[in-house]
A and B are shown apart, each in its own frame.
Chain A
Amino acid sequence: MRGAIYTVLAIILCALQTTIFEHLSFFGTVPNLLIGLVVCVALTRSALEGGAIGLLCGIFIDVLGRGTFGVNALLFLYIGVALGLVSNKFYRIRGLVVFAFAFLSNFVYAFLMFFFKFYIWGYGNMLAALAKKIIPETIYTAVFSVLILFLIRSINKRVMGEEA
Chain B
Amino acid sequence: MKELFTNKHFILLLVVTLILLVMAALYTTERESVTFGEDLIASIITPMQSLFTNITDGITGFFGYFTDVDAIKEENKQKTEEIQKLKSTIRQLEQYKLENERLKRMLDLRETLADFELVGAEVIGKDPGSWYSSFTISKGTSDGLAVKQPVITSSGLVGHIYEIGTNWAKVISIIDVGSSVGAMVVRTRDVAVVESDVDLQQEGLCKLTYLSKNASLISGDIVETSGLGGIYPKGLLIGKIREVKPETAGISQYAIIEPAVDFQRISEVFVITNYPSR
Contacts and interface: CB of A to CB of B under 8 A. Distances in A.
B51 to A, nearest CB: 8
Contacts, number: 132
Nearest to B135: A18
A69 B264 CA distance: 26
Interface string B210-240: 0000000000000000000000000000000
Contacts of A156: none
Contacts of B128: 14, 17-18, 34, 60-61, 64-65
Nearest to A30: B130
Contacts of B48: 11-12, 15
Contacts of B16: 51, 55, 77
Interface in B90-147: 124-132, 134, 136
Could you tell me the dominant secondary structure of chain A's interface residues?
A: helix
Interface in A41-74: 47-48, 51, 55, 59-61, 63-74
Interface residues of A, number: 50
Nearest to A77: B16
Given A11-B45, A66-B176, A133-B202, A19 B13 contact: no
B174 to A, nearest CB: 14
Interface residues of B, number: 44
Contact of B52 (A15, A30, A67): A15
Interface string A115-132: 001100001110011001
B126 A51 contact: no
A20 B128 CA distance: 12
A66 B198 contact: no
B28 A68 contact: yes
Interface string B159-178: 00010000000101000111
A64 B24 contact: no
Max chain B CB contacts within 10 Å: which of A64, A70, A128? A64
Nearest to B197: A123
Nearest to A16: B52
25 contacts: A15-B45, A18-B49, A18-B128, A19-B126, A28-B202, A51-B16, A60-B41, A63-B42, A64-B42, A65-B134, A66-B129, A66-B170, A66-B176, A69-B27, A69-B38, A70-B21, A74-B21, A74-B24, A77-B16, A81-B13, A114-B131, A118-B198, A123-B198, A124-B177, A128-B199
Q: Which 7 A-B pairs have the closest CB atoms?
A: A124-B198, A70-B24, A18-B125, A19-B52, A15-B48, A69-B27, A70-B20
Interface of A: 11-12, 14-20, 22-23, 28-30, 32, 34, 47-48, 51, 55, 59-61, 63-74, 77, 81, 110, 113-114, 117-118, 123-125, 128-129, 132-133, 137
